[in-house]
Structure 1
Amino acid sequence: MKILNLILVLSGLFTISTNAQDKLEQDRKAIKSLADFYKVNFNYAEITSPNPDYQFSKPYRSHGNEWAEIVVDEPRRIVIQHMLAIDDSTVIKHWRQDWTYEDTNIILYTQDNAWKKGNLTAADVKGKWTQKVYQVDDSPRYQGYGTWSHVGGHDAWSSETDSPLPRRESTVRKDYNVLNRGSRITITPNGWMLEQDNKKILRTPAGDKLIAVEKGYEEFTKTDSTKFTYAQKWWTIQNTYWADVRDVWAEVMNAGDTFKIKTTAKGKLLYETLFALGDQSIKEKWSASENKEKVKAAIQPYLIK
């Protein structure tokens, strides 16, 4: 009887382990399906406010062609770089999303372009994936974690976290300083959807004040890859430099418990400085160590002590 019980216990443990591994592979498959060639539609609109006299902003709509390329594919970490293809001769290195399984290291946005390290336990992140989103210059934007679900053939993931103002409002809005993002990613037959329920918050020492609530949809629909020929050529030349930039930013974020970034220094935006440095790196054929040394020096004026 004891031997039989032992066999049953071991069999149960094996089943649990196998199911967990199958779930992990389902998660990885869903994340990797985010990478492809897309036509993207952006739609955002404020839908409510606690202030009866609030003047709702005009709905925002935009579209573009975006290529999402997997640049790191490890068992517990997947990195996807997005590129906007403007035309046959112009590409913008766009946002980046890093997915890490059961990651206890997270950077939390506070306000006014400042971040602090968060403390997550193994229990907090068990079975969960952290999505770390970065700006065009590879500085951090926001990080959230949640569980991928695969129910009835539908793949979805959701999280809630604070972030800076969206780029479309960062230079025109002064009435709030934190965007609390409620994000849900759903895989669709022809791509994927990012649905957002966002709270626009004014954060002060007295606490948080809700200004308005915004609904957002970003629809990624697969499209013809030939629209991205120039973007692919550009990235083939540039990707090594940007890998070095990612390494430098990782060092910056690991150096202390908090850090703060200013968007301009010496009359230039941070992304302008790093993009120009990338072109120079290609032209002068810098090594990885030279790239990192020059990127470190370039970033320093943008860091607030």
Structure 2
Amino acid sequence: MKKQITLFSGALLLAFSLQGQGLKDQDRKAIKSMCGCYEVSFEYAETFSPIEGYEKKPGYRASALEWVELLEDGENRISLQHVLVVNDSTAIKHWRQDWEYESPASFAFVGDNTWDFHQTPSPNLRGTWTQKVYQVDDSPRYAGSATWIHADGKHYWENATPSPLPRREYTKRSDYNVMVRGNRHEITEYGWVHEQDNEKIIRESDQKDQLIAQEKGWNIYRKVDDAQCALARTWWQENHPFWDEVRAAWDTLYQREGQLNLAREVDGKPLYVHLSQLEEKDAKRKEIAALFSRFASEDRSGVGK
């Protein structure tokens, strides 16, 4: 009887393993299906505030053509780079999203241009994918973990995580300092949708977060012929060696546990301006890393912890 139980347990574990691999293959297919050329519409509107007399801010609406490049296609790591096409004449490096399977290493935005890098206990990671989102200069933005859901013909991933203010507001507003992003990525028959249920909050030390407004967001990616993104594809082919060096320099800086605080400006210029100047001179990793060390605050970054 003991032998029979052992054989049954082994068969059950094998069945679960095969089932898990099948789900993982579906996950990878869903993530990689976000690559290609898209017409994108961006729409945001505030929906609710608990503050009496709060005046809702105007909604935001924009559209763009965007190329999503498959940078890395590993078994446990998939990286996607977004490149915008502006006025059919200019390509601009946009955000990047990395997807890591059952990855213990992650980071969380805590406010004041500071991120906490940490390790998640392995029992909490089974079947999860961590999405790490990076800004145009490949500095951190936000990260969150969840499982992909494949049910009733739907394929989606959703998570809520703190982040800096969105680019559409961070130069215009000072009445809140953290956005808790409710992110839902769903694959559709026409492309994919990045649906958001966001909370705009005031976060201060030793005090409870204060919600000032909630917001609904719809970023709809409609697949079009790849030829429409030829400009972005060519730009990336010509410029990716420099950005490969930038990512490698960041990866070295990200190997930490503890906080990373980044200065908003050095010598009166934000990081992306410095990087643009380095890109023009085709700078290499050592020079890029030296620039990053000027932006990373030694006394608050957790270096050496």
Is the TM value for this pair above 0.5? yes
Q: Hey, what does 1:292 align to over in structure 2?
A: 285
Higher deviation after alignment, 212-221 or 249-258:
249-258
Contact 2:117–2:256 (8 Å) recurs in 1: no
Shift in Å, 1:41: 0.4
Shift in Å, 1:153: 2.0
Q: Hey, what does 2:263 align to over in structure 1?
A: 262
Where structure 1 has 5 or more consecutive residues not aligned to the other structure, the ranges are none
Whole-Å Cα distance in 1 between the matches of residues 22 and 266 of structure 2?
48
Contact 2:117–2:260 (8 Å) recurs in 1: no
Contact 1:198–1:214 (8 Å) recurs in 2: yes
Contact 1:85–1:227 (8 Å) recurs in 2: no
Shift in Å, 1:263: 2.6
> 1:182-201: CA deviations, max 9, x gaps?
11111000110011111101
> 1:10-55: CA deviations, max 9, x gaps?
2222111110111111111111111111011000011000112101
Q: Hey, what does 2:162 align to over in structure 1?
A: 162
Amino acid at match of 1:164: P
Q: Hey, what does 1:196 align to over in structure 2?
A: 196
* Equivalences, count: 297
Q: Hey, what does 2:224 align to over in structure 1?
A: 223
Amino acid at match of 2:288: V
Higher deviation after alignment, 82-91 or 24-33:
82-91
If the length of structure 2 is used for normalisation, what is the TM-score?
A: 0.94
Whole-Å Cα distance in 2 between the matches of residues 30 and 121 of structure 1?
26
Give yes or no for the alignment of 1:304 onto 2:297. Answer: yes
Q: Hey, what does 2:105 align to over in structure 1?
A: 105
Percent sequence identity over matched residues?
41
Shift in Å, 1:2: 4.7
Shift in Å, 1:279: 2.6
Contact 1:105–1:120 (8 Å) recurs in 2: yes
Higher deviation after alignment, 213-222 or 253-262:
253-262
Please give the secondary structure, in 2, of the residue aligned with 1:137: coil
Higher deviation after alignment, 43-52 or 292-301:
292-301
Shift in Å, 1:227: 2.1
Whole-Å Cα distance in 1 between the matches of residues 51 and 201 of structure 2?
13
Q: Hey, what does 1:184 align to over in structure 2?
A: 184
> 1:208-246: CA deviations, max 9, x gaps?
111111111100110122222121111111112111111
Whole-Å Cα distance in 2 between the matches of residues 119 and 225 of structure 1?
39
Higher deviation after alignment, 253-262 or 203-212:
253-262
If the length of structure 1 is used for normalisation, what is the TM-score?
A: 0.94
Please give the secondary structure, in 1, of the residue aligned with 2:281: helix
Q: Hey, what does 2:301 align to over in structure 1?
A: none
Q: CA RMSD in A?
A: 1.4
Give yes or no for the alignment of 1:147 onto 2:147. Answer: yes
Shift in Å, 1:256: 5.2
Change (3 A) 1:5 1:227: same
